[in-house]
């Protein structure tokens, strides 16, 4: 940020009165421009014990597989955001959403909230964001080609819960675990934070 979005003059980093961290402050109109983390919402779309994955047709990680997810928009609930992203990326409509996993990815100022969901029918298609869609059971997941660590962790937790029986039915699944995905340079890549509510 170099310029004030309110008046167009230059901003400078400084610590405002009654604050304790640097903010961008306008040199002219003195407005403080706060910057905050963004929330990504997404789905684990189930169909008869298989999971719908999409092969990314956009950067980053073009060509890799992922779960449908994207930034929550202003004016949107988290559930509606997850439904919209799934439709946009897979062409599929999901229902019976339940919050499942929340991840902190503090080093890139992001959070991920992933929902359990069910496809209303096994209809999906290539979209501007996805070059290929397919349903996978646990043995078929292309683990070496998953786009993001947070998606790999979501899938691993999902299959683990299913195997151990600790996965609830759709009606009672709770957002039970959240994890801190740490900065690789901290030497503890994507390590579990120790906070595990279940």
> For binding to its own copies (CB under 8 A), which residues are involved?
1-11, 18, 21, 33-39, 71-79, 97-99, 102, 104, 106-107, 109, 111, 128, 171-176, 178, 180, 193, 195, 197-198
Output the smallest distance, CB 71 to its own copies, in A.
6
Output the smallest distance, CB 161 to its own copies, in A.
13
Output the smallest distance, CB 102 to its own copies, in A.
7
The rounded distance, in Å, linking the Cα atoms of 61 and 75 is 29
Instruction: Give whichever of 57 and 138 is closer to its own copies, judged by the CB atom.
Output: 57
Residue 6 CA, distance from chain mean position: 30
Output the smallest distance, CB 172 to its own copies, in A.
7
Instruction: Give whichever of 29 and 143 is closer to its own copies, judged by the CB atom.
Output: 29
Instruction: Give whichever of 63 and 166 is closer to its own copies, judged by the CB atom.
Output: 166
Instruction: Give whichever of 147 and 177 is closer to its own copies, judged by the CB atom.
Output: 177
Which phi and psi (to 5°) does residue 24 adopt? -80, 120
State the residue for tokens 């019976």. 96
Instruction: Give whichever of 69 and 141 is closer to its own copies, judged by the CB atom.
Output: 69
Output the smallest distance, CB 153 to its own copies, in A.
15
Instruction: Give whichever of 134 and 173 is closer to its own copies, judged by the CB atom.
Output: 173
Name the region of 30 (left: φ>0; alpha: ψ -120 to 50; beta: rest): left
**What three-state secondary structure class fits 95?**
strand
Write out the two tokens for 77: 């609930």
Output the smallest distance, CB 177 to its own copies, in A.
8
The rounded distance, in Å, linking the Cα atoms of 122 and 129 is 19
Contacts of 35 (CB under 8 A, 6+ apart): 1, 23, 24, 109
Cα–Cα distance list, 157 to 84, 89, 179 (Å): 23, 22, 11
């Amino acid at each position: 940020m170099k310029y004030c979005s309110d008046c167009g003059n230059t901003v400078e980093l400084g610590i405002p009165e009654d604050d304790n961290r640097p903010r961008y402050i306008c040199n002219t109109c003195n407005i403080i421009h706060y910057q905050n983390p963004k929330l990504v919402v997404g789905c684990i779309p189930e169909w008869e014990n298989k999971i719908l994955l999409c092969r990314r047709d956009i950067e980053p990680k073009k060509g890799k597989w992922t779960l449908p997810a994207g930034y929550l928009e202003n004016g949107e609930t988290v559930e509606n955001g997850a439904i919209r992203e799934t439709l946009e990326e897979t062409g599929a409509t999901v229902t019976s959403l339940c919050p499942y996993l929340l991840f902190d990815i503090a080093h890139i100022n992001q959070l991920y909230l992933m929902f359990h969901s069910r496809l209303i029918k096994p209809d999906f298609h290539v979209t501007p964001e996805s070059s290929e869609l397919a349903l996978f059971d646990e043995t078929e997941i292309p683990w070496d080609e998953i786009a993001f660590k947070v998606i790999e962790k979501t899938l691993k937790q999902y299959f683990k819960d299913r195997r151990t029986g600790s996965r609830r039915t759709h009606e009672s699944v709770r957002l039970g675990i959240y994890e801190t995905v740490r900065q690789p340079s901290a030497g503890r890549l994507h390590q579990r934070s120790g906070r595990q509510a279940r």
